[in-house]
Amino acid sequence: MIISDVLEVSKELNTQLVTGHRSLLRPVLTIEVMEVPEVENWVTQGVLVITSFYSVRKQPDEQYRIVKALIHKKAAGIIVKLGKFVSRLSDEIIAVAQQHDFPIIILPRDVPYISVLTPLQSMLHAEQISTSKSETTLAHFENKSYFTVEEALNDFATYLSCTMYLEDIEGRLLSCSQDVQKDGWRESRLLFSAPSYTGYKEKINEWVKQYEDHSFVMTEYLGHKWHVIVPLFRKGIPFMFLHFVYNNKLLSEEMDEQNSIIVKNKLYMILMGEIVEWQQERMSQDEELRRFSITGAGASNTSYVLLFFQRELNQFINETIDAFHFPTDYSCFFRKEVSQFMNRIPKVQRYLIFERNMNVYVLLHFTTQQSSSTLELRNLLTQYLTNSPIEDSYIAISSMFARLEEVEEKVGAVTKIMGIGKKMHEQERIFSYNKLGIYEFFIELSTQPQVQEYVNSILSPLSQADSNLRETLVVYLMENGNASRAAEKLFVSRRTITYRLQKIKELLGTDLDDPENRFVLQFCLKIKQLD
């Protein structure tokens, strides 16, 4: 492929060649999306770079340095997406490109990367693959457009009669087709979950060594399934593994080297394009949120709810791999899942996803006529969280509010609710401010010495007693003094409950039938629970 081919393929996207008119025959050997500015570390001769300059958007001198480095490295050219982060190229960039007849192609602001990457990669890899393709190859997928990696994986999996998933170099799950079953290697479809295979880290290290010669396919027998494992390379180094999981060996043997090249190249470009789009979306939403916080913009007929997402695998969300190998952070993948999750919630006019202190928050925007109650929202979130790739998440829901300048206040509120909910209701995943907000006052009270002294004076007789007595008291009070229901909850007989309650009355010296006494005991137990 040469530069003139690039222009021909992308002409319907209204691309514009601004320099390099005498270099139309310059060969294009590879295509890379530029996410990091240290091009000297990875650019090779013949590479066509696509970028929006978002990492150096306010540094024209750095943009100039990058173009000079590309010229020095004999890159094929650069496609720059203008309008979103960089409105124009400096005169110095244009001048140095003209001096070396270096091709600069402008991509319009409203054109997604994937729209130009897909046809260019299809042409490039069509030249690399033999023109004599059998009817069983995946050649017809090369020109097919996909919006997400999941969409492509589902399509490939259906065509190949297999299950597919994508893991990073540490074995953490990043994406998968819809039907992922236990296969001896993986038991979970949770985002970022590790393989269940014993010694999986050693096995992955073996794969990395075997792929040093850039071989494409390896078959492993794992848990009665046949795996074809294809590496995805970044600058000559494997950084992800694509798994094809078959029920029998005959089907797995149909995946040859030619088809593996088609699949992995297609997925690589979809993945990189999607990551870049999500990074840009993050910056755009962060900017919008900053504008809201300054102006307090918002219509009079709107209401808002803030959600706080937290995961058991939270340590992976903001972890960044060496930029040379895989230049993105894991929050892109988590934000993507959260976004797909939010798209299922009815009545939401729009939403903004943002981060604070390595945590993910979602601002939901409702019109007054379509607003949902927090109870309705909680029920929907509970329903959608089940069996989702992020079902191990916890979600805290704020109360509904009308003014956008309250966002930062609500961030603090839902963060507190998350901590309270996880402590007070260990078996639950979703907590609402309307239900748990009162515990903010309990927390404040629990730190006061006179309150602690009072609580200890009331409950101290139970501290040395059988632990069953305190549990019985808690359940009895939760059941509003109904001994029969308490017995059912504790799986003991009514006689046992009656005996324990009598013992508690004697120890505490209080009448449990008195509603005011029960209120005092509930208060003390809640304060004690927050210690």
Q: Examine the pLDDT at 320 and tell me if it is beyond 50.
A: no
User: Which residue, among 306, 300, 310, has the nearest Cα to 408 in the 3D structure?
Assistant: 306
Nearest alpha-carbon partner for 146 in 53, 327, 246, 272: 272
Phi, psi angle pair for 423, to nearest 5°: -85, -40
Distance of CA 203 to the CA centre of its chain: 26
pLDDT by residue (tens digit) across 70-107?
999 889 999 998 887 888 899 999 999 999 999 999 98
Mean pLDDT of 447-461: 85
Lowest mean pLDDT, pick from 53-62, 200-209, 249-258, 310-319: 310-319
**Helix or strand (DSSP H, E) at 502:** helix 494-508
Q: What is the mean pLDDT of residues 241-266?
A: 77
Mean pLDDT of the chain: 81
- Among 24-38, 64-78, 379-393, 487-501, the range scoring the smallest mean pLDDT is 24-38
Q: Lowest-pLDDT range, 253-262, 413-422, 484-493?
A: 253-262
pTM over 0.75: no
Q: Are 306 and 417 contacting, i.e. CB atoms less than 8 angstroms apart? A: no
CA distance 101 to 89: 16
Phi, psi at residue 103, to the nearest 5°? -70, 125
pLDDT at 140: 63
pLDDT for the residue 327: 46
Averaged pLDDT, 6-33 = 89
Q: How far apart are CA 196 and CA 224, in angstroms?
A: 14
- Residue 299 pLDDT exceeds 60: no
Residue 369 in this model has a pLDDT that exceeds 60: no
pLDDT tens-digit series, residues 460-511: 888 777 778 888 888 888 888 888 998 898 898 989 989 989 988 888 888 8
Cα(first)–Cα(last) distance of the chain, in Å?
A: 68
- According to the model, what pLDDT value does residue 372 have? 57
d(CA 149, CA 152): 5
Per-residue pLDDT at 325: 45
Phi then psi for 486, rounded to 5 degrees? Answer: -65, -40
Name the packing angle between helices 91-99 and 60-72 (round to 10°).
10
CA dihedral 297, 299, 301, 304 (to 10 degrees): -30
Cα–Cα dist 229/217, whole Å: 6
Q: Max alpha carbon distance in the chain (Å)?
A: 98
pLDDT at 127 over 50: yes
Domains and CATH numbers, the chain: 3-120 (3.40.1390.20), 136-270 (3.30.450.40), 296-437 (3.30.70), 443-529 (1.10.10.2840)
Structure tokens at 15: 């691309």
31: helix, strand or coil:
strand
What is the mean pLDDT of the segment spanning 331-356? Answer: 85
- At residue 162, does pLDDT exceed 80? yes
**Rounded to an integer, what distance in angstroms lies between the CA atom of residue 142 and that of residue 134?**
15
Partners of residue 229 on adjacent β-strands: 218, 243
User: Residue 364: left if φ>0, alpha if ψ -120 to 50, beta else—which one?
Assistant: beta
Q: Check: CB of residue 229 under 8 Å from CB of residue 210.
A: no
Q: What phi, psi does 13 have (nearest 5°)?
A: -90, 5
At 213 the pLDDT is 53
- pLDDT of 317 above 60: no
In this prediction, residue 528 carries a pLDDT of 80
- Confidence class for position 340, pLDDT limits 50, 70, 90: confident
The region of weakest confidence among 163-172, 217-226, 313-322, 499-508 is: 313-322
Helical H segments across 232-304, by residue range: 249-252, 257-295
Among 162, 340, 174, smallest CA distance to 254 is for 162
**How many Cα atoms within 13 Å fall on the side-chain side of residue 205?**
4
Asked if residue 303 lies in contact with residue 368, where contact means CB atoms within 8 angstroms, the answer is yes
Whether 21 has a pLDDT exceeding 60, the answer reads yes
Position with higher pLDDT, 319 vs 31: 31
What's the CA gap between 260 and 242, in Å, rounded? 10
Grouping H, G, I as helix, E, B as strand and the rest as coil, residue 104 is strand
Which residue is it, tokens 């958007």?
57
Q: CA 204, CA 216: separation in Å to the nearest integer? A: 15
Q: What is the pLDDT of residue 292?
A: 66
CA dist 468 and 475 (Å) reads 11
